[in-house]
Amino acid sequence: MRHLIAILLALSTPFAPAFAQSAETRIGWNRPSQPFRIWGNLYYVGTAGLSSYLLTGPAGHVLIDGGLPESAPLIAANIRRLGFRLRDVRIILINHAHFDHSGGLAELKRLTGAKLYASAGDRPDLEAGRTIGRGDLADFPAVRVDRVIRDGEKVTLGPIALTAMLTPGHTKGATSWLATIGGKRVIFASSISVAGQRLVGNPDYPRAAADFETTFAKLRATRADIFLNYHADGFGLEAKRAALKAGKPGAFVDPGELRWVVDAAQKSFAKELASQRAGNPPG
């Protein structure tokens, strides 16, 4: 399983921008998916291809990621299906400002009345409704950021506590989130694939390659019992869900998963960087 996911991380279509915007791919990503409890008060509320997570608590709930624009009603329906009220979602967090993760944010804010927290690096893109400097990526509904978060900043809502870890490269403000849930350290890991990013001579993002290197080092120094990603096939969601349904409560627990995911991504990054330095366009 690990070997297969590593290959998918390096080669799969969810990280190929041109293909990612095809109608066929968007339909596949946005297929409905039944919500379920992952661990403790953590629930999966995303679509079949794009992950969204709900952390629940007595003071309100935190939603992480918004999928595509067309994902918003499915995410909202999944929250309701679990028995939670949309108006009790108080905070929305985002992992990075691309159309397939930020697309549904504006509508989810409208439906819930929640506040959106995001990094300074991604705020301009979110509020412009496009990934600035990436004409190859689709636009999305612009959304107002209510609070700018910094690296290491804690976001709390009653007993819910998450720590922001800036992991740029994929975007300038890509953000991973860390939390302790039911005694397990959980990382909601932002994308660390190159995915068409221009690594050499990029006037809009000159630090892209250096940021990737810093992010890899940062993630290697991080411990996580549960690794979660925002593309379902980037962390074997369906296999883990099946194991959970078959009676394995710790199906998502794997303390080694973060490390080998970083290994696979860094190898892919090094290959792409060498290719671009040789004069080839972003792959």
Mean of pLDDT values over 6-12: 43
- With bands split at pLDDT 50, 70 and 90, how would you rate the model's confidence at 19? very low
Angle (nearest 5°) at CA 227 between 192 and 154: 85
* Assigned domain for 59 exists: yes
Angle (nearest 5°) at CA 151 between 149 and 154: 65
pLDDT digits (tens, 9 = 90+) for 147-156: 999 999 999 9
Q: What is the DSSP string of 212-277?
A: HHHHHHHHHT---SEEE-SBGGGTTHHHHHHHHHTT-TTTTB-TTHHHHHHHHHHHHHHHHHHHHH
**Res 18 pLDDT > 60:** no
CATH number for the domain harbouring residue 167: 3.60.15.10
The number of domains in the chain is 1
Q: What pLDDT sits at residue 29?
A: 96
Q: What percent of the chain has pLDDT over 70?
A: 93
Host domain of residue 29: 2-277
* Assigned domain for 63 exists: yes
* Assigned domain for 57 exists: yes
pLDDT digits (tens, 9 = 90+) for 48-57: 999 999 999 9
CB atoms within 10 A of CB 122: 27
Q: What pLDDT sits at residue 4?
A: 47
* Assigned domain for 32 exists: yes
| Cα 180 to Cα 24, 45, 135, 165, distances in angstroms | 37, 19, 38, 14
Which residues on adjacent β-strands are paired with residue 63?
A: 54, 92
* Assigned domain for 45 exists: yes
| Cα 196 to Cα 154, 175, 208, distances in angstroms | 31, 19, 12
**Res 38 pLDDT > 50:** yes
* Assigned domain for 282 exists: no
Asked whether the beta carbons of 95 and 176 are under 8 A apart, the reply is yes
**Res 181 pLDDT > 50:** yes
